[in-house]
Structures are given as C-alpha cells and as structure tokens.
Amino acid sequence: MKISGLFAFSVCVAGFLVSCASQQPMVSTQPVVSVSDFRSVSFTPQRIEFDARILIQNTAPVPLDLARVDWAVDMFDQELFNDSFSGLKRTVGNGTQTVSLPFHIVMKDVTAQAPDLLAEGKLRVTFRGQVHSAARYGLEPVPFTQSIEIPVPKLPDVSYVGSEGEPFSSAFRLNFTVTNSNSFPITLTSVKTFLVISGRKYSLLHTRKSVDVQPGDTQPVALQMENSPGKALSMALNLAQNPNPTFTITGTVTFDTPYGWVFIPLDQQEMLQ
C-alpha cells in the first residue's frame, strides 16, 4: 500500500510539473512600438514606392506573442487605404522585432485626391496603425504614426538631339539632353535601352559614367554603342537594305535623387542622321 501511495503521489507531482511547463508566463506590460523607417524609395510615371518599418520592443522578461498589425496610409490627412498583417513572430523576453510594410501610391490617386494641395509642390503622407498582442494577455493595442513630406517629383525631361558616326562603327553615338525641373539635384546613373532599326532589335546602348544635373539645369548625355563584329555586320546589312532607315529607342533611364530612385521609360522614333 505504501508503494502504491508513493507511486500515485509521484504521478500527481509529475502531472503538476508538466501542467506548469505547458503554460507560458503571462505578459502584463505593453510592448513599445515606433516607426523605425519611413521614406520614399522610387518614382515612376505610374506610382511612388515607399518603405515603411516598425520596431516592436518587448519590455517583459518573458516571450511575447503578437496577433497582428493593423495599418493605414493617409495623404493630406485623408485615408488612401488600410491593411492588416498577421505574419508576426514571437518576440523573446526583452527582445525586438522589426516588421517591414512596403507600399505604393498610384500617381493618378495623387492627382485626383489633392489637386489643389499639390500646387504647393509637396506631398504629405502619413503611415499609422496599431500593434495587437495576443488576446490572452488582455493588453490594449499600441498605436504608432509618422508623417513625411516629399517634393512632388517632376520627371526629368529626356530629349533626343541627334546621332553621330556610322551606326555599325564604334564611333556611333546617340546624343540626348536631360533637363531637371525639380528644386533638388538629380543624378543619371544608368541607361538600359534597345535600338530597333527597321524592325530588328539591338541591345547596344549604355552610359560610361553618371551625370549630375542641378535644379533647373540641362546636361548633355551621350549613349555609346556596345559593338561586336557580328552585331556590326548585322546592322550594316540591315541598313544596306533600307536607304532611309528609322530607329526606335526603347528602355529605361534611371535617376538617383534625395527622395528615391526615378525611373523614366523611353520610347522614341527618329531618323538616322
């Protein structure tokens, strides 16, 4: 009977210990939430891309489970859209977690929603939301918010000036000018384009170096052919079959600005000079 009683007591103790181990300590303090990064990263004629990140700090010495982040984007204090993110990880005691919530604003929404305010030349965007801890803690959601103002970007004007040199020689150049109508400097960093002559496509244009363009300034840009014997022969035969050739320039011009990258598509048809 004593052995049986001792066994029953051991089973009860073991069960109690397992029960305690299976229960996570309760968190009684709210996490601290801040916006760690919020900025524009790129512009195209169609949209503006933003990078937004929040930092969640677990102030408790035990792990914290998070339910979701409810967040929204306002433009000139008017809500554009809202969303929710539930892919949060458990945050260790006294640890941190960074959550990235990138988004974009469509340019037609910008011009449609605030045409009068855009006359000021600035775009005010607010990133805000709440972080919800797991429901079992009974904690209130923690809010966060941050606003930024960025100049409304004016896309640089890229104009074709003319060509020089034989199209199938290493001296062939396409000359452009870039005009910066913004109040801040821009830098042309790369040109990825194709030259289409009489329906045949050649990936042959590039820039040798970056070009800085100050506010209100115009700078020349020369694009040089990336040549090869086979490419030169193909172009020579193509031009020989067409005494009045035209060419189309397609591709993308990339600029770096203090407020992110600017990508401008090219699609221009010209006569060879």
**How confident is the model over 108-160, as pLDDT tens digits?**
877 776 665 556 678 889 999 999 999 999 999 999 999 999 887 788 888 88
Q: Are residues 137 and 180 in the same domain?
A: no
Instruction: Please state, in angstroms and rounded to a whole number, the distance separating the CA atoms of residues 44 and 265.
Output: 8
Tens digit of each residue's pLDDT (9 = 90 or more) over 190-242: 877 777 766 677 665 666 678 999 999 999 988 776 665 555 556 656 655 66
Strands 200-206 and 157-164: unpaired
Tens digit of each residue's pLDDT (9 = 90 or more) over 5-58: 544 444 444 444 444 444 556 788 999 999 999 999 998 888 999 999 999 999
Which one-letter DSSP state was computed for residue 120? G
What's the total number of domains in the chain?
A: 2
Instruction: Please state, in angstroms and rounded to a whole number, the distance separating the CA atoms of residues 263 and 191.
Output: 10
Instruction: Please state, in angstroms and rounded to a whole number, the distance separating the CA atoms of residues 228 and 254.
Output: 25
pLDDT bin (cut points 50, 70, 90) of residue 102 is very high
For residues 211 and 221, the answer to whether their CB atoms sit within 8 Å is yes
- Looking at residue 18, its pLDDT comes to 44
Q: Are residues 54 and 138 in the same domain?
A: yes
What mean pLDDT is reported for the chain?
A: 81
165 falls within a domain: yes
Q: Are residues 139 and 80 in the same domain?
A: yes
Question: Domain end: 119, 136, 151, which one?
Answer: 151
Residue 209 maps to which CATH number? 2.60.40.10
Strands 260-271 and 32-43: parallel
Residue 58 in tokens: 């677990």
Question: Domain end: 94, 122, 151, which one?
Answer: 151
Question: Domain end: 106, 124, 151, which one?
Answer: 151
Cross-strand pairs, 220: 177
- For 68, how many CA atoms within 13 A lie in the half-sphere containing its CB? 7
Q: What are phi and psi of 243, to 5 degrees?
A: -70, -20
44 falls within a domain: yes
**Which residues span the domain enclosing 232?**
157-271
Contacts of 202-205 with CB under 8 Å at 24 or more apart are: 202/231, 202/234, 202/235, 204/231, 205/174, 205/249, 205/251
Instruction: Please state, in angstroms and rounded to a whole number, the distance separating the CA atoms of residues 264 and 256.
Output: 12
217 falls within a domain: yes
Query: Which among 69, 135, 139 has a CA at the least distance from the CA of 98?
Result: 69
3-state secondary structure of 21: helix
Whole-model pTM: value is 0.76
10 falls within a domain: no
Instruction: Please state, in angstroms and rounded to a whole number, the distance separating the CA atoms of residues 266 and 257.
Output: 19
Q: Is the dihedral of CA 57, 58, 64, 69 positive or negative?
A: negative
- Looking at residue 11, its pLDDT comes to 44
For residues 160 and 98, the answer to whether their CB atoms sit within 8 Å is no
- Looking at residue 196, its pLDDT comes to 74
